[in-house]
């Protein structure tokens, strides 16, 4: 196992920021930790990184206790945090060179610049980079020591859609090399696209864990059928049908037969079903349900 955590607790005074978390991540796995701000995910991750000490529980990362692992431990991990900055007076190439020198295994500077797509900016001062470019440089610094395990704390926050796709490709390539990746994110599409397994953390506790496809009973959840009708048409009485902003929504445990009856009715009545969609609840729906967040962040 790359990460083994049992009974992890972190308290700040009266507050239990992390309240009994158990977690295992296999080698080569991409694991996403999801949860609202203040749920404890950053605290948990920072304990794994060795930035904070646990109040209780055991933590083993790559077989090492991060609290006492010191230099040997940090040579084997890469960290991309939300709150860290890079000396803005340096150029992209200089920063990668300087940080790379701290690791015994170093990836070539040119290769890293290419991986994160900063070729055109390699000699530019960091202060001239956009927010997304800086974040990609941070990603490069996270992997400059060729880590076995990479921590990514909201790696694409602030990226535009194309930069996000590029970053995803980088992360997928790393995963392809067999690196273990622990990711935190607010974006459900990101968790869906990148991770093998996800866990949802709420108020310091893990409330659900599984693959993106099955977490929170997603695989067994009822299918949702939605459609619109021409003005003046009443929906068929085929079970409970809610109306939301001109769309009719049916929750169908047996989707095949419900859909068949619905379309048969529509054909017989000569009614066109506009915007017809048949879908499982999205990872985001499950996430919002689990975290009790109607509005998200």
Question: Of residues 16, 60, 106, 280, which one binds other proteins by CB under 8 A?
Answer: 106
Minimum separation from the CB atom of position 6 to other proteins (A): 24
Among 101, 120, 219, 242, contact with other proteins (rule: CB under 8 A): 101
In whole angstroms, the minimum distance from the beta carbon of 47 to other proteins comes to 13
Q: Which stretch binds other proteins (CB under 8 A): 104-112, 113-121, 209-217, 272-280?
A: 104-112
Beta bridge mates, 224: 251, 279
Residues 49, 70: Cα–Cα separation, whole Å? 10
Query: Contact with other proteins (CB under 8 A): which of 25, 39, 45, 86?
Result: 86
Joined together, the tokens standing for residue 184 give 């935190």
Identify whether the C-beta of residue 7 lies closer than 8 Å to the C-beta of residue 20: yes
DSSP secondary structure, 136-148, as one string: HHHHHHHHTT--S
71 binding other proteins? (CB under 8 A): yes
Of the candidates 271, 278, 268, 274, the one whose C-alpha atom is nearest the C-alpha of residue 234 is: 271
Residue 102 as a binder of other proteins (CB under 8 A): the answer is yes
Candidates 141, 194, 252, 286: give the one binding other proteins (CB under 8 A).
141
98 binds other proteins (CB under 8 A): yes
CA distance 116 to 79: 16
CA distances from 205 to 85, 125, 214, 291 (A): 30, 42, 19, 11
Residues 31-60 that bind other proteins (CB under 8 A): 37, 49-51
Label the pairing between strands 247-252 and 3-12. unpaired
105 touches other proteins (CB under 8 A):
yes
- Judged by CB under 8 A, does residue 116 bind other proteins? no
Q: Does 79 bind other proteins (CB under 8 A)?
A: yes
Nearest approach, Cβ of residue 74 and other proteins (Å): 4
Distance CA 94, CA 133 (A): 15
Beta sheet of 241-244, edge-to-edge order: 241-244, 247-252, 223-228, 274-279
Q: Which residues bind other proteins (CB under 8 A)?
A: 37, 49-51, 71-72, 74-75, 79, 81-87, 89-90, 94, 98-99, 101-106, 125, 130-132, 135, 141, 145, 157-160, 163
């Amino acid at each position: 196992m790359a990460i083994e955590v049992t009974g992890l607790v972190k308290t700040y005074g009266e507050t239990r920021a992390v309240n009994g978390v158990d977690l295992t991540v296999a080698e080569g796995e991409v694991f996403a930790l999801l949860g609202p701000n203040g749920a404890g995910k950053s605290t948990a991750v920072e304990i794994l990184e060795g930035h904070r000490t646990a109040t209780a529980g055991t933590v083993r990362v790559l077989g090492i206790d991060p609290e006492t692992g010191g230099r040997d431990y940090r040579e084997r991990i890469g960290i991309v945090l939300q709150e860290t900055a890079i000396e803005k007076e340096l150029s992209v190439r200089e920063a990668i060179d300087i940080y790379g020198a701290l690791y015994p295994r170093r990836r070539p500077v040119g290769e890293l610049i290419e991986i994160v797509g900063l070729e055109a900016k390699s000699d530019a001062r960091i202060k001239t980079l956009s927010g997304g470019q800086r974040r990609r440089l941070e990603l490069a610094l996270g992997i400059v020591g060729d880590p076995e395990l990479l921590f990514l704390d909201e790696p694409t926050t602030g990226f535009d859609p194309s930069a996000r796709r590029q970053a995803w490709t980088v992360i997928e390539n790393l995963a392809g090399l067999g690196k273990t990746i622990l990711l935190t994110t607010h974006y459900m599409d990101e968790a869906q696209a990148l991770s093998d397994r996800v866990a949802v953390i709420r108020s310091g506790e893990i409330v659900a864990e599984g693959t993106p496809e099955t977490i929170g009973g997603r695989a067994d959840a009822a299918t949702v059928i939605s459609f619109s009708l021409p003005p003046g048409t009443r929906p068929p009485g085929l079970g409970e049908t809610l109306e939301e902003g001109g769309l009719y929504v049916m929750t169908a445990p047996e989707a095949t037969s419900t859909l068949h009856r619905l379309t048969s009715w529509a054909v017989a009545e000569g009614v066109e079903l506009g915007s017809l969609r048949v879908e499982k609840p999205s990872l985001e729906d499950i996430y919002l349900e689990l975290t009790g967040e109607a509005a998200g962040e």
